[in-house]
């Protein structure tokens, strides 16, 4: 199983789009809020080179863009 983490923050509409899809599809992933915890933002920058959210980290590799994250989950989530 791949190691997955979603970096997000509450006020981000694109993050909300991903979280809504996850809820609808009954997907539960570890999530790290980059606004509530500054260390998560720094961690995301080290992984992907930028603080952009949402970001799904898949085995240490960053995937940005809400539509791309949702498509990846549709294609790969085994729950």
Task: For domain 10-76, say whether CATH 3.30.360.10 is its number.
Answer: no
Q: Could you tell me the residue ranges of all domains in the chain?
A: 10-76
Q: Rounded to the nearest 5 degrees, what angle is found at the Cα of 30, between the Cα atoms of 76 and 16? A: 80
CA distance linking residue 60 with residue 57, whole number of Å: 6
Confidence of residue 2 (pLDDT cuts 50, 70, 90): confident
Q: What is the pLDDT of residue 23?
A: 97
Q: What is the pLDDT of residue 1?
A: 66
What integer is the mean pLDDT of 63-77? 97
Per residue in 37-57, pLDDT tens?
A: 999 999 999 999 999 999 999
């Amino acid at each position: 199983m791949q190691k997955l983490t979603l970096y997000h923050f509450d006020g981000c509409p694109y993050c909300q789009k991903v979280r809504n899809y996850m809820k609808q599809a009954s997907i539960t992933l570890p999530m790290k809020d980059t606004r509530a915890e500054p260390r998560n933002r720094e961690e995301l920058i080290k992984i992907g080179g930028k603080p952009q959210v949402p970001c799904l980290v898949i085995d240490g590799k960053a995937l940005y863009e809400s539509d791309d994250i949702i498509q990846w989950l549709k294609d790969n989530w085994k729950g």
